[in-house]
Every structure is written in C-alpha cells, then in structure tokens.
Chain A
Amino acid sequence: MTAEPAAAVHRSVVLPVSREHAWRAVTDPDQLACWLADDVELEPRAGGAARFRWDDGGDRVGVVDELTEQRRIAFRWQAADADDDTGESLVELTLDDVEGGTRVSVVEVRTDALRSGDAELTPAGTPTAWTQRMGALAACSLCAWA
C-alpha cells in the first residue's frame, strides 16, 4: 500500500438567515470567533493569512486559498505546533440558498490526499484546480458519507 485513501469529512447545517448574514458568519473574524474557534484572525481575501486559537490550547495557522463573495471560502490550515503531526488540511465552506434560509456546507480533507503523485500544490491565492478537485471530492464524499 503506497498511499492512504483520501480522508474527507462532509457536514452541513441550514441556518434560518439570508446568504449575506451567513457569509458574514463564515468570513468575519469576530463572528468566526463565536463558533469556529475562540480567537480568530483572518484576512478574507485569496492569499490572506489566518490563525485560529482555542481556549484548550489548540492553535492552527492557515491561508485563504479561494474566496468567492457570498458563495465560498476555502482555506488550508495546520497545527501551529511543528511537532503536531496531524498534517495540513483544506477546509471549504460553501453557501447555498435553500428553503427557509442558507445551507452552509463544509468539506475538510487532508491535503496529502489531494496531491497527485509528486505534483506540488500551487501557491495560495493563484487560480488553482482546488475548486474542481473539491467539487469532485464533495461528490465522492456525498456518496460515501451522506
């Protein structure tokens, strides 16, 4: 066995609010600090730096990979502690209009599972194949994990 199978997590929640409201909740650092972590720094633009800290000592650093206004934000993150070997993963939050509000879908996948052979990942902020890959992966995840 030369490679591990992809590990992907897919979750979603329907919020009884508008897309505009939901978008602020998933991109405004002050609002992210109300639910995603306890202390959040995030520059909401492609290539923007991010840091997430939790009161239990958790500390993750990241970079925004992709941002489509009111539609999708994707960032890569990993433990700030270099000794932590959980590895880097990609988180994508997508908003959809649904009856009664806005669905927030999240996919988290280890980036080593997304690498193809020895191909290097393109730098954050440049147009990448992430969207297609994540779309394909989300489709796989939906089949496997729904």
Chain B
Amino acid sequence: MLERILREKGLRVDWEAYRRLTSALAEELEWARELRRKEADWSYIESRPEPLRSALEKLVETGDLKLVSRLYSIPLEELNEERIRARIPLVVVSLSESGATHT
C-alpha cells in the first residue's frame, strides 16, 4: 500500500534497502524506548504540571522532541530543558543491521 501511494506521488524509492533499513531501525527504536523508560526520572515527571507532565510521558514513549513540542504547544527549547531535567535521553540510533564494525 505504502509503495503504491508513494509511487503514485512520483517518489523513486529503493524498496529493498528501505525494508532492510526500517527493520533494523525498528529494533533500535524499541531499544531506545526501553532506555528512556528506564532512565527517566519519573518522580520529576509526575511532579510537573499539565501539559508538561503528559508531554514528558509522550516524549519517553516516542523520543520525538519536535513532534511532542508541536502536539502540546510547548516551545521546543523549553521542552528540551524539561527533558534534560527529567533525565530523558535523546538516543542517536544506528541504521545498520548488525552493528558490524566499520574501519
């Protein structure tokens, strides 16, 4: 379905690479989500007023700072400062399948 829609829009995508990379990325994103859940300072998050509390909870789940900033109408820089206080890591992930070492 996705392929058909994007083809109709004139996007030329290397679908084999796309499937391979998105599969590797999905594993990394799940790992990152678990890390955020584990490392977040939940007592700090729960102490924050709304909508900050919900925004920080959403940030733990998604890791997507800009998306959460838009969803909750919280300025990006303010949300990022709150993120750091709440000890929610921003995780830079890999797109490689096995994490093979490159030299």
Q: Do A and B come from one complex?
A: no
* Interface residues of B, Cβ cutoff 8 Å to A: none
* Interface residues of A, Cβ cutoff 8 Å to B: none
